[in-house]
Amino acid sequence: MLFFPNCKINLGLKITGKRADGYHNIETVFFPVPLRDAIEIIDNNASLETVEFTQSGIALDGLQNDNLCIKAWQLLKNDFPTLPSIKLHLHKAIPTGAGLGGGSADGSFTLVYLNQKYSLNLSENQLLAYALQLGSDCPFFIINIPCLATGRGEQFQPIQLSLSGYRLVLVNPGIHVNTRWAFSQLTLTEPATNNTVNFKQSLSSIVSGSIDQWKDNLTNDFEMPVFEKFPIIQSIKETLYEKGALYASMSGSGSSVYGIFKDIDIPSLNFPNHFLINYSAL
């Protein structure tokens, strides 16, 4: 079984406060983007009670057992003891530590396809619950449609948002931004205020309006501290605007930056070779 987890970008991102459980409340729009990893799962006929994991493409940081694909199998194995051992190969094309949710997508897609492959008959709500155990933004990839996300990022309100007729330029500078560090740089306000409600309303109205109006209204709270530490990331955003982007922003806590262009106005860009440039039809 071969499948292709896609990444996401954030359209606007506000951190509204820290929760008692240590997580943060956020408000953002998750938008799926067709830059994809590839995962293959086959039965492992050896008598192993584990995942035989291999990987290619972009190198992964951290311990193999921390990979969310392996954790997804382990979560299901705990509740379905007859789930067999598997061989899982992951080919990484989505940059890591880049604000694109690639690891979260890999884990969530693994849940979905293990459910299908082994006829576990899990409902969407059950898959969402498993995905939340993997990470705060993992449930989005179970739904995988444009959504207004609140709470930890697991509370969704699907929205009607199409960017057909536009093109996305996605630039990754090869910088790994630590999410915990990024959160530590924010001055947080109380989560339960009228401003929070107003932001939700304005975020919905902004993204449903003209993209020409997004530049001055749709913001990412992480940009200020990340730009201060990594000026090259800010310069990417500025370059995208100079080249005619209708809207440009950092995604998540960084380091990837995207620009949205009219389909007929794709510019010629000359970023250094270590930058990943991806043109995607939306």
The answer to whether 106 is a known catalytic residue is no
Tell me the residue ranges of DSSP E strands in 4-82: 6-18, 24-36, 38-43, 51-57
* Cis-peptide into 255, omega within 30 deg: yes
Tell me the sheet residues that pair with 42: 87
Whether residue 216 lies in the annotated active site: no
Output the CA–CA distances (angstroms, integers) from residue 101 to 78, 161, 241, 245, in the order listed.
Answer: 25, 20, 24, 23
Partnered with residue 87 across adjacent β-strands are 42, 52
Query: What order of strands is seen across the sheet that includes strand 24-36?
Result: 6-18, 24-36, 147-150, 155-158
CA distance 277 to 185: 28
Alpha-carbon dihedral of residues 108, 114, 116, 122, nearest 10 degrees? Answer: -70
Q: Considering 71, 77, 92, 137, which one is annotated as catalytic?
A: 137
d(CA 50, CA 87): 9
- Least Cα distance to 229 among 279, 192, 167, 181 occurs for 181
Q: How many Cβ atoms are within 10 Å of 124's Cβ, its own excluded?
A: 12
Residues annotated as catalytic (active site), given as ranges? 8, 137
